[in-house]
């Protein structure tokens, strides 16, 4: 019987070897096809990126790198168009941003990014223009300039509350990185759900929801690269999730609060009449805007040190343009969204940056490449608010993409501007601000879709101005 067993084993080994050789041959064939015969083969880029999406997974999840900064190196080496994935291109020419995110385009979003936040049916997560438009038409009425002007009392109330929290800490150091974001999240949650999370009054402004947002950024990056990991975490019972990841407990608590509120309103619509204000914007609005205010405010808070004369002038009613210039320059230098916003070229294909791009190709461009472009902004890495003043400055407005551009741009930009104007007008009227020596001279960040700020936080000694 032994020879028979050995022969059978040898027969099985033979087929295993053949299967292994077939798989190896198939992999080699696919690699050659992707590199040389693919419709995107003519576009330059790192070979490993053209071969597999695991290249980006390695950079973002294993090496903990900043992909947008890596793209700067790639564009310096390969030119304006870089192949960053088997079916993905990234662009760097500023004019190309207006081609991809053109208001007339109805291109679909690419799924892996927009479904990485666990809210696939939010206005942010809708992939097609048609389904997003239905939600956006409703939300636009709630977040229009007219609507925000009608709700400016809510913004002012939270700004005053923030100023009072500064007064309680007079002559001591305040963590501005947390404080401004607490104000923003309180405004948003109040407008969206009728009550705020009271982040402003958290000890040292370290509100659980703010801490959770920062801690969740690497998690959302992993969601983008692994649907299985996302499913496992999203479907984890809240109690267990808070034990496994205590830092993100604030997000779990907010989610449970909103679920309870939605259930209450669904079962008893009269609950809406009991809210402090009649206009309530639901979760999908908050999804897009809530984490974006922080980076704007953090960069803006360093303005006084860098441009004292301009800031002194901005509070004078006769010179509102100076305040606007400072805010625009802060928005330019501090990204709201760091990553490219991927779109799918329609089946007919499209001409982008002078090249025909086949249908089905994933294309994108980070606004960082516009905001730091030497062809658009003189000395782009320097904080120069004066560049936005006068007729020459007004011509730069079309190159400010802090809220993206086109039919899928940020819904909350009117609210964001209201927060910025109210916050800094109050702040520099009421307080003397001295940067803490521990504050970084330049803010360093890593691309986690949103910027993840690394290193010391921005802190300041805030002293009330004598009446």
* Dist CA 394 CA 164 (whole Å): 36
Contact call for residues 343 and 100 (beta carbons, < 8 A): yes
Contact call for residues 298 and 177 (beta carbons, < 8 A): yes
Name the nearest CA neighbour of 464 among 430, 433, 427.
Answer: 430
Structure tokens at 158: 């939270």
* Dist CA 418 CA 377 (whole Å): 26
* Dist CA 463 CA 199 (whole Å): 22
User: CA–CA distance from 293 to each of 175, 349, 419 (Å)?
Assistant: 16, 35, 9
Residue 265 has phi, psi (to 5 degrees) of -70, -35
* Dist CA 189 CA 150 (whole Å): 17
Would you give the end-to-end CA distance of the chain in angstroms?
A: 104
Name the nearest CA neighbour of 192 among 275, 249, 134.
Answer: 275
Residue tagged 């939300």 (tokens): 139
Structure tokens at 20: 């292994």
* Dist CA 404 CA 4 (whole Å): 70
DSSP of 101-155: T-TT--PEEPHHHHTTTS-TTSTTT--SHHHHHHHHHHHHHHHSHHHHHHTHHHH
β partners of residue 90: 82, 364
Structure tokens at 89: 């291109």
The answer to the question of whether 322 is labelled as a binding residue is: no
Residue tagged 């007219």 (tokens): 146
Contact call for residues 265 and 187 (beta carbons, < 8 A): no
DSSP of 35-99: IIISTTTTS---HHHHH-THHHHIIIIIS---HHHHHHHHHHHH-SEEEEETTEEEE--HHHHHH
Instruction: Please list, in sequence order, all residues whose beta carbon lies within 8 angstroms of the beta carbon of residue 33, skipping any fewer than 6 positions away.
Output: none
Q: Compute and round to an integer the Cα radius of gyration of the chain.
A: 25
Q: Which residues are annotated as a binding site?
A: 410
Mark the binding-site residues for heme, compressed into ranges. Answer: 410
């Amino acid at each position: 019987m032994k020879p028979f067993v050995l022969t059978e084993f040898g027969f099985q080994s033979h087929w295993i070897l053949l299967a292994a050789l077939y798989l190896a041959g198939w992999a080699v064939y696919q690699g050659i096809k992707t590199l040389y015969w693919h419709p995107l083969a003519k576009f330059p880029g790192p070979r490993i990126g053209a071969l597999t999406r695991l290249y980006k997974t390695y950079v973002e999840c294993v090496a903990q790198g900043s992909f947008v900064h890596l793209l700067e190196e790639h564009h310096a080496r390969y030119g304006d168009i870089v192949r960053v994935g088997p079916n993905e291109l990234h662009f760097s020419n500023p004019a190309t941003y207006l081609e991809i995110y053109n208001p007339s385009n109805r291109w679909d979003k690419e799924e892996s990014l927009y479904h990485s936040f666990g809210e696939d049916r939010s206005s942010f997560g809708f992939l097609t223009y048609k389904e997003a438009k239905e939600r956006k038409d409703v939300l636009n009425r709630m977040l229009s300039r007219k609507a925000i002007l009608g709700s400016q009392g809510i913004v002012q109330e939270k700004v005053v509350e923030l100023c009072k929290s500064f007064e309680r800490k007079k002559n001591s150091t305040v963590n501005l990185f947390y404080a401004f974001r607490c104000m923003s999240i309180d405004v948003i949650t109040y407008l969206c759900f009728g009550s705020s999370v009271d982040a402003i009054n958290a000890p040292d402004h370290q509100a659980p929801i703010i801490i959770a947002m920062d801690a969740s950024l690497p998690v959302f990056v992993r969601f983008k690269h692994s649907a299985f990991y996302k499913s496992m975490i999203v479907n984890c019972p809240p109690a267990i999730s808070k034990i496994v990841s205590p830092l993100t407990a604030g997000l779990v608590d907010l989610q449970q609060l909103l679920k309870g509120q939605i259930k209450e309103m669904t079962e008893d619509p009269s609950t809406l009449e009991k809210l402090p204000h009649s206009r309530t914007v639901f979760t999908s609005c908050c999804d897009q805007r809530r984490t974006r205010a922080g980076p704007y405010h953090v960069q803006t808070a360093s303005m006084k040190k860098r441009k004292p004369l301009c800031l002194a002038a901005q509070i004078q009613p006769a010179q509102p343009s100076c305040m606007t210039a400072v805010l625009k320059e802060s928005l330019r230098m501090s990204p709201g969204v760091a990553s490219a916003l991927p779109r799918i070229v329609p089946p007919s294909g499209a001409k982008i940056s002078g090249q025909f791009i086949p249908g089905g190709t994933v294309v994108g461009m980070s606004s960082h490449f516009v905001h730091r472009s030497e062809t658009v902004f003189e000395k782009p890495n320097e904080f120069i608010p004066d560049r936005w003043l006068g007729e020459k400055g007004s011509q730069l407005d079309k190159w400010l993409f802090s809220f993206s551009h086109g039919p899928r741009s940020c819904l909350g930009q009117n609210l964001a501007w209201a927060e910025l104007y109210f916050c800094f007008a109050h702040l520099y009227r009421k307080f003397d601000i001295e940067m803490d020596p521990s504050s970084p001279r330049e803010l360093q960040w890593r691309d986690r879709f949103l910027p993840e700020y690394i290193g010391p936080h921005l802190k300041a000694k805030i002293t009330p101005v004598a009446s």
